[in-house]
Amino acid sequence: MSRPSERLKELGMTLPPVAKPLAAYVPYVKHDNLLLLSGQVTMKDGKLAYQGKAGSEHDIEAAQQAAKLCALNAIAVAADAVGGIDNLDRVLKVVVYVASADGFTDQHLVANGASNFIQEIFGEAGVHARAAVGVAELPMGSTVEIDITFSVKG
Amino acid sequence: MSRPSERLKELGMTLPPVAKPLAAYVPYVKHDNLLLLSGQVTMKDGKLAYQGKAGSEHDIEAAQQAAKLCALNAIAVAADAVGGIDNLDRVLKVVVYVASADGFTDQHLVANGASNFIQEIFGEAGVHARAAVGVAELPMGSTVEIDITFSVKG
Amino acid sequence: MSRPSERLKELGMTLPPVAKPLAAYVPYVKHDNLLLLSGQVTMKDGKLAYQGKAGSEHDIEAAQQAAKLCALNAIAVAADAVGGIDNLDRVLKVVVYVASADGFTDQHLVANGASNFIQEIFGEAGVHARAAVGVAELPMGSTVEIDITFSVKG
């Protein structure tokens, strides 16, 4: 298995810059060997790339791309926290909030857009516990928000 | 106080088989002495036993049964993770997501269906912190989804 | 920087009494140096001070006050857990659930009502990771529910 940084390169991807904190909270907090992240939305190049609800504005495939983008943003924050993606230990838990139109019940499929990407990058170290839920609305109309807990070395 | 395995027997209950992971995530992750579970829905015998929202398709009592079933499924996963229910240390945190019709605000009562059952099985070791929220939709239309964190020995 | 107890006094505020547990769950669980709280709603003097959804019954400013009240209740629980607010180590993670009318997407601004207050009280030790989501309904119609994880000494 390649290292995460090599997997990213093989996929032709780079980690986006980490967005500045908007308020009295920060992108991550380290506590012992836990790395707790703030929820990540579909930010790309300074604006939201996916807005609106799954099941109305977006079909499953687009919502999966939204979930993947949130995961990428989370990985960027985590990498920034430990001085590089290869210094992360493993992904522990992923909570996927999907802004859901009434009657849309495929949150687990949407969440796979994040889960599969995380495993693609981290391999065994990316296998995680997960909860996927359908919420009414998300900040700035983001289609997905993802909350990840990593473990870090030491 | 009986051991959890004895309490189950006294209640005439058995732990269901643990569902296979559906994607790049797993039913649980152990990290130090934390056991983080994936969200559990109302799966029973391979299909969802409770679908639809509390406050419309289901009254409080049925939704409480749905919450109890999610808790049972979570306990089964946790028991599987540590080689038997009696090897679990304690229940730390329970997050109960209730698919809620507009105007339904008894998520705390629904969540009691899980909390009371957990205490019935684990006694003092089952007393937990909890959050109960009402969400728009849940995977496959499940009425309840429950996300539990256990502690484990060593 | 003043101690948290002094900051409260300077703001002319006192911690409310901690509500009795309503069921088989408790206001907090300590595990190693983690302090996991139960979700806190807008309880004040024994009843909910803010009910109804942000974006319909409440504007952003009122919802921010609701979030601040939930944070105050959480701080009271945490202080009670460790024998006084000054014994808390730091705030790690804050999850803010905002009962949201359709089309209301300012959950992050509502959550600032909690985040800013937490930082005002705890200073550097109050800087936290955060997720803010918009949910369909909350227990007893509370406008906001907040779920905080603290670290404690030893």
Distance of CA B37 to the CA centre of its chain: 10
C150 and C78 Cβ atoms separated by less than 8 Å? yes
Residue pointed to by tokens 């807990």: A149
Residue C79 Cα, gap to closest chain A Cα (Å): 20
**Domain locations in chain C?**
4-12+26-152
Q: Tell me the fold of A4-8+28-152.
A: 60s Ribosomal Protein L30; Chain: A; (3.30.1330)
Residue A154 Cα, gap to closest chain B Cα (Å): 12
Model confidence at C101, pLDDT cuts 50, 70, 90, reads very high
Q: Give me the sign of the Cα torsion angle C59, C65, C66, C71.
A: positive
Q: How many CB pairs under 8 A join A and C?
A: 87
CATH architecture of C4-12+26-152: 2-Layer Sandwich (3.30)
Residue C67 Cα, gap to closest chain A Cα (Å): 14
Give the H or E element holding residue B20: none
What mean pLDDT, rounded, does chain B reach?
Answer: 94
The tokens for A153 are 């070395």
The tokens for C28 are 């907090």
Interchain proximity B147–A131, CB inside 8 Å: yes
Residue-wise pLDDT tens digits, C108-143: 999 999 999 999 999 999 999 999 999 999 999 999
> What is the chain A residue with the closest CA to B36?
A129
pLDDT value for B15: 87
Q: Give me the sign of the Cα torsion angle B80, B84, A90, B43.
A: positive
Give the H or E element holding residue C121: helix C107-122
Query: Who has greater pLDDT, A78 or C24?
Result: A78
pLDDT value for C22: 63
* Euclidean distance between CA atoms B107 and B132, whole angstroms: 6
Residue A56 has pLDDT above 70, yes or no: yes
| Interface test with chain A among C133, C137, C143, C149, by most A beta carbons within 10 Å | C133
Residue-wise pLDDT tens digits, B57-106: 999 999 999 999 999 999 999 999 999 999 999 999 999 999 999 999 99
Q: What is the residue-wise DSSP string for chain A? A: ---HHHHHHHTT--PPPPPPP-SSB-SEEEETTEEEEPPB--EETTEES-BS-BTTTB-HHHHHHHHHHHHHHHHHHHHHHHTSGGGEEEEEEEEEEEEB-TT---HHHHHHHHHHHHHHHHGGGG-BEEEEEEESB-GGGBSEEEEEEEEE--
Query: What does CATH list as the number for B4-11+28-152?
Result: 3.30.1330.40
pLDDT value for C2: 81
What mean pLDDT, rounded, does chain C reach?
Answer: 94
Q: Three-class SS of residue B70?
A: helix
Distances (CA, A) of C16 to A125, B72, C45, C69: 44, 36, 8, 10
**Span B10-15, average pLDDT:** 88
Residue-wise pLDDT tens digits, B98-149: 999 999 999 999 999 999 999 999 999 999 999 999 999 999 999 999 999 9
The tokens for A129 are 């516990």
With beta carbons under 8 A apart, name residues in chain B contacting C97: 131, 133
